[in-house]
Amino acid sequence: MRNRKDESIAIDQYLQQDPPYWIENNFFVSDPRDPVTGEQFSPGPLRLAAHQKQILRSALTKIDGLFPYSTILYSTIKKSGKTRIAAAVGMWFAATQGDYNEVYCLANDGKQSSDRLLAAIKQCLALNPTLGWSVTKTRIDLPNGTFIESIPCDPTGQAGSNPGLTLWSEMWGYHQEYKARLWSEMTIPPTRFGKAIRWVESYAGFTGESNVLENLYSVGVQQARRHPMFAEIPVYVNSPAKMLAYWDQGDEARRMPWQTAEYYAQEEKLLTPNEFDRIHRNYWAAPIDKAIPIEWWDNCYVTTPALDKHTPLVIGVDAGITHDSSALVVVSRNPTDKNESCERYTKIWYPPSGGKIDLDLLEQEIVWWCQNYNVVEVTYDKYQLHKMMTDLRKRGLTRFKEFDQNAPRALADKQLYDMIINRTFTHSSGNVDLRTHVDNAGAKDDGKQYRFVKQSSKLDKSGATARPIDALVALSMANFECMS
């Protein structure tokens, strides 16, 4: 009987060290799903797909008492369980890898690391209180002296730490130099070699900007070889770097039953092509993509009745003086559908060679429109225009509104983009220069904000911006105010 008991204890100890076994018995979630059918169950243990179990075992099973890899890169498309798996790995490590260990959760910023990784762990402990771990706002303490803590992206504050495991969430957002320094500061110390791990979960980032992740991709995928144990799953090994990378991309990465064709058809209508490919196909994206295919713009052209004196109008103004152009764009609701908008008139001024735009001409244009038509608002970028618009406001011509060029501009640009896609915006002036400004524009989409930007900062022979977009910016502001 004693031998059988000893054997049972040994088996239990072995299974507790096995990451999939521990996770499927201890890591609780509010909405576990069957990884084959997609059926949702009551709150309980996370259910892992076969390929997830295989990756976890290959990445975390020790050889002669040491971890075979120091860095694990787990990258696949959105809604594949990356964050939950990272949180589960953190709990498994804390529970099974000895006393007085340090586990750190990091992400794009301190708040996100708390919201994403630590929040998943806290939810598990609320659903599975038998573990008996102590929870505070940013830290979880285990009875064995190990702790799990979320920390902000501050490299100066992490000197001297001795991490056994660091969990990095959405590393595509590590653009700034100080975040790259944090990655360096949290490297595995030589005293923990073979006993400590860095686990990175993310989908693809932006070439030339997501430098930390791009370097990991280069080392872990491009400079690595396919793992011989994975015939159908894209897992790579770089032995000299002690790195294992799971980098799944394309439509083949849709391995979970809830990743349906209907879902992606919907998402493809809501996201820009660049961003859709990045988060739903895990392809690297250019930081600046073409904003509006010119064919989309051309398809929005309509012939509308001449403006009457009573149609409510919004004017958008964006001004440059020395290098950039200045633009005035007039927008109204669509005469045939008040839920849509229509560009009615555009005028653009370009700087003369070696000279400056005469802003008096722009002011005269604004005054003429306000005196001859029903202009309900003039909205503008205050750069270069603050004094002019202040003076015009005092004349009581109409309402003058500064347009914030930060978050509101991003909302306006995305709204105009969506309306052009859905043809709920039209243009009727036939202004060739406006079309050129639309064609010139790039788009920067970081997953949080969508902005029209210049594709090039080069100047032409006259010293002016070679590819201006000011008329599109003026249109975006006017359209947003018109539809508000």
**What percent of the chain shows pLDDT beyond 90?**
72
φ/ψ of 443, rounded to 5, equals -130, 135
pLDDT band at 463 (very low <50, low <70, confident <90, very high): very low
Convert the pLDDT of each residue in 451-462 to its tens digit: 999 876 554 444
What is the predicted pLDDT for the residue at 460? 47
pTM of the shown model: 0.70
pLDDT band at 187 (very low <50, low <70, confident <90, very high): confident
Locus of tokens 């900007």: 209
What is the predicted pLDDT for the residue at 75? 98
The DSSP output letter for 105 is: E
What residue ranges in 307-374 does DSSP mark as E strands?
313-318, 326-334, 337-349
Q: Which region among 39-43, 87-91, 113-117, 149-153 has the lowest average model confidence (pLDDT)?
A: 113-117
Instruction: Kindly tell me if the per-residue pLDDT of 202 is higher than 90.
Output: yes
What is the predicted pLDDT for the residue at 159? 52
In the beta sheet, which residues pair with residue 328? Answer: 317, 347
One-letter amino acid for residue 174 of the chain: Y
One-letter amino acid for residue 250 of the chain: G
Distance, in Å, from the CA atom of 92 to the CA atom of 73, rounded to the nearest integer, reads 17
Locus of tokens 């229509």: 342
pLDDT band at 220 (very low <50, low <70, confident <90, very high): very high
The strand order across the sheet containing 139-141 reads 134-135, 139-141, 147-150, 102-106, 165-169, 197-201, 71-75, 243-247, 235-238, 225-226
Q: Which region among 30-44, 102-116, 267-281, 421-435 has the lowest average model confidence (pLDDT)?
A: 102-116
Q: 118 is written with which tokens? A: 């630590």
What is the predicted pLDDT for the residue at 51? 97
What is the predicted pLDDT for the residue at 107? 73
pLDDT band at 269 (very low <50, low <70, confident <90, very high): confident
What is the predicted pLDDT for the residue at 109? 58
Q: Which of 28, 95, 36 is nearest to 60 (CA)?
A: 95
What is the predicted pLDDT for the residue at 384? 86
One-letter amino acid for residue 2 of the chain: R
What residue ranges in 76-138 does DSSP mark as E strands?
102-106, 134-135
Instruction: Kindly tell me if the per-residue pLDDT of 336 is higher than 80.
Output: yes
What is the predicted pLDDT for the residue at 108? 65
In contact, 28 and 42? CB cutoff 8 Å: no
Convert the pLDDT of each residue in 230-243 to its tens digit: 999 999 999 999 99
What is the predicted pLDDT for the residue at 409? 96
289-298: average pLDDT: 91
Output the CA torsion sign for 102, 103, 109, 111: negative
In the beta sheet, which residues pair with residue 198? Answer: 71, 166
Q: Which of 87, 79, 138, 89 is nearest to 111 (CA)?
A: 138
**Contacts for 172-176: CB closer than 8 Å, 24+ residues apart:** 172/202, 172/203, 172/204, 172/205, 172/206, 172/210, 172/213, 173/107, 173/108, 173/205, 173/210, 173/446, 174/108, 174/210, 174/211, 174/212, 174/213, 175/206, 175/209, 175/210, 175/211
What is the predicted pLDDT for the residue at 38? 94
What is the predicted pLDDT for the residue at 457? 55
Instruction: Kindly tell me if the per-residue pLDDT of 8 is higher than 80.
Output: no
**What percent of the chain shows pLDDT beyond 70?**
90
**Chain length of the chain:** 484
Q: Which region among 167-171, 270-274, 470-474 has the lowest average model confidence (pLDDT)?
A: 270-274
One-letter amino acid for residue 168 of the chain: W
Calculate the dihedral angle through the C-alpha atoms of 399, 405, 406, 412, rounding to the nearest 10 degrees: 70
Instruction: Kindly tell me if the per-residue pLDDT of 401 is higher than 90.
Output: yes
Distance, in Å, from the CA atom of 418 to the CA atom of 428, rounded to the nearest integer, reads 18
User: What mean pLDDT value characterizes the chain?
Assistant: 89
251-271: average pLDDT: 94
Give CA separation, 266 vs 37, 136, 261, in Å. 21, 39, 9
Half-sphere exposure of 162 (CA within 13 A, CB side): 7
291-302: average pLDDT: 94
pLDDT band at 115 (very low <50, low <70, confident <90, very high): low
pLDDT band at 180 (very low <50, low <70, confident <90, very high): confident
Q: 216 is written with which tokens? A: 């990991």
